[in-house]
Chains A and B, each alone.
Chain A
Amino acid sequence: MSKRVDVVDLNVYYGDFLAVEGVNMNIDAQAVTAFIGPSGCGKTTLLRSLNRMHEVLPGARVKGQLLLDGEDIYESGVDPVTVRTQVGMVFQRPNPFPTMTIRENVLAGYKLNGARLSKSQSEEIVETSLRSANLWNEVKDRLDRPGSGLSGGQQQRLCIARTIAVKPDVILMDEPCSALDPISTLAIEDLIGELQQDYTVIIVTHNMQQAARVSQKTAFFNIAGTGKPGKLIEYDDTTSIFNTPQEKSTEDYVSGRFG
């Protein structure tokens, strides 16, 4: 299953500091949406507010609505824990659980849900998740080795496997390739293309080519200056953003004439 995400008048704060202001956008299901923009414009902040990870930081809060297939995840009474099981997240730096084996890492989300899995069920989940993360062939002989013993790119794919194992509706990725070499990056980009068939994927990237390669829609964010809130400047089909942007600042940014 994959769900549509609608952002309505969203303001995101760190204490009194307004980091992201007035975002309105409709993110398609079963598509890849890229967030681009200069450093500090609030891409990470916005992304983390999509699965209520933002509020984990002390003083951090959100105003506005965020609809997951029409249901507001910020409505009072909504449990952030439930939201996070439906909206998975892959971080900038690979973060497999260091004390767990590769197998346990993949099953970590299941363990949380309290699911009792038979041995064959868990074997199957491990295999399909690792296969969808294009990691199976590399690790099938060492599932009981620690996850931290893999290369950076493999660790990141393990984290993706861990995220898709619990079948979320939306997958958020914050610069998932920024710590990886070009080959691993390509492997993950291919993977994102495949994930799109089953999930809503939202990816933050600093790499224009990557945004152009993997996404159907692109959102460009910008800030007027330091201390000012980040804003959504332009949001359109990726081809339009890169070829016929409507805003001057978008054009400057995607053509590398920024700043």
Chain B
Amino acid sequence: MTSSLTQSDKRGVAGDRVFSALTVSAGVLILLTLAFVALFLTVNSRDAVYQEDQGGWILTAFFDYAYPLVIGTLIASFIALILAAPVAVGVALYISHYAPPRFSKGIGYVIDLLAAIPSVVYGAWGMSFLGPALIPVYGWLHENLGFIPLFAGDPSQTGRTIFTAGVVLGVMILPIITSVCREIFIQTPKLHEEAALALGATRWEMIKMSVFPFARAGIISGIMLGLGRALGETMAVALVLSPGMLTASLISSGNSTIPAEIALGFPEAPPGSERQAQLIAIGLVLFLITLLVNMTARWIVSRHKEFSGAN
């Protein structure tokens, strides 16, 4: 029996099917890629943790090798975030809410240009300019604040320290965080901004009342994107840092990061060797750290969902 209700728009239905099939396969493709990367890393890192001739599992050996690199990676990324995030939020706010409209376009454009600079260039800049420029600063920190373990130890004579690497990373992730924040800040509903202003809010109070709460999730996403880039950045760190043993001091040479270790070590590791497996294994560790960071970010964003204004 066909009534006017059981008939349907055939073409519309087909289009709908095609589109949903497309989106589903795109989603599955991403998951598959992720799974293959994880699988590749896991399978190839076996030799790093299991060696027949060394009596089976050698987890402690691998752990001893990996943990200084993990800590180095986290320190460098942390320094980068601490430096970049406030600046990025400030710049984004200036562009979205303070700068005269004629200006803000230009500034946004310059910031976006920063993102287009290849990381080798940043690395070269850090190695040959920023590092040497920071030497006196390290000397000063050591003399005046040397009692803090972070500034203990001999200050580096080349400036190629984990701190310099962190600063370079900070500059590198500045544009991405700024762009994301700016986009979100601009989208704050006029309605909510005016609600605050009409209650007698100054511009800064309006920003605290309307813009930040609205942009919270976006700021966190921006920072996490930046952190992701900092964690995985290879060239800049490999060039800036003269790698060495783990040390608490930020101003001595020493420390290394996972990406730098892989970049420097991989070309010399014979294919199929234990060394290569080791490098792949710390790659897996980095993969897991990044995954963890992203999941934490999602979790932070999803708390207080009802208060997000999305309803």
A interface residues (Cβ-Cβ under 8 A, vs B): 51, 53, 56, 58, 81-82, 84-85, 88-89, 91, 93, 95-100, 108-109, 112-113, 146, 148-149, 159, 162-163, 166
Q: How many angstroms between the C-alpha atoms of A113 and B201 in the bound complex?
A: 8
Contact between chains at B306 and A88 (CB < 8 Å): no
B194 at the interface (CB under 8 A from A): yes
B14 at the interface (CB under 8 A from A): no
At the interface with chain A, which of B26-34, B84-92, B205-213, B233-241?
A: B205-213
Contact between chains at A109 and B199 (CB < 8 Å): yes
Residues of A within 8 Å of B304, CB to CB, are 99
A58-B101, A108-B209, A112-B205 known; A99-B198 Cβ under 8 A: no
Contact between chains at A81 and B306 (CB < 8 Å): no
Q: How many angstroms between the C-alpha atoms of A88 and B199 in the bound complex?
A: 6
Contact of B198 among A51, A96, A98, A149 (CB under 8 A): A51
Contact between chains at B194 and A99 (CB < 8 Å): no
Q: How many angstroms between the C-alpha atoms of A84 and B198 in the bound complex?
A: 6
Q: Total contacts A to B, CB within 8 angstroms?
A: 78
Shortest distance in angstroms between A259's beta carbon and chain B's nearest beta carbon?
Answer: 30
A81-B201, A84-B200, A109-B200 known; A99-B195 Cβ under 8 A: no
Residues of B within 8 Å of A166, CB to CB, are 199-200
B115 at the interface (CB under 8 A from A): no
B197 at the interface (CB under 8 A from A): yes
Contact between chains at B194 and A81 (CB < 8 Å): no
B interface residues (Cβ-Cβ under 8 A, vs A): 101, 189, 191-192, 194-202, 205, 209-210, 213-214, 216, 304, 306-309, 311
26 A-B residue pairs with Cβ-Cβ distance under 8 Å, sorted by A, are A53-B197, A56-B194, A81-B201, A81-B202, A82-B200, A84-B198, A85-B200, A88-B198, A91-B195, A95-B189, A95-B195, A97-B196, A97-B213, A98-B192, A98-B214, A98-B309, A98-B311, A99-B304, A108-B196, A112-B196, A112-B201, A112-B205, A148-B307, A148-B309, A149-B306, A163-B198
Q: How many angstroms between the C-alpha atoms of A159 and B196 in the bound complex?
A: 11
Contact of B191 among A81, A95, A112, A146 (CB under 8 A): A95
Contact of B199 among A56, A148, A162 (CB under 8 A): A162
Shortest distance in angstroms between B204's beta carbon and chain A's nearest beta carbon?
Answer: 11
A53-B194, A108-B209 known; A98-B307 Cβ under 8 A: yes
Contact between chains at B199 and A84 (CB < 8 Å): yes
Shortest distance in angstroms between B254's beta carbon and chain A's nearest beta carbon?
Answer: 44
Q: How many angstroms between the C-alpha atoms of A108 and B209 in the bound complex?
A: 9
Shortest distance in angstroms between B196's beta carbon and chain A's nearest beta carbon?
Answer: 8
Shortest distance in angstroms between B237's beta carbon and chain A's nearest beta carbon?
Answer: 38
The 6 residue pairs across chains A and B that have the minimum distance between CB atoms: A98-B309, A85-B200, A99-B213, A89-B198, A95-B191, A84-B200
Residues of A within 8 Å of B308, CB to CB, are 98-99
Residues of B within 8 Å of A96, CB to CB, are 195
Contact between chains at B199 and A112 (CB < 8 Å): yes
Q: How many angstroms between the C-alpha atoms of A88 and B308 in the bound complex?
A: 26
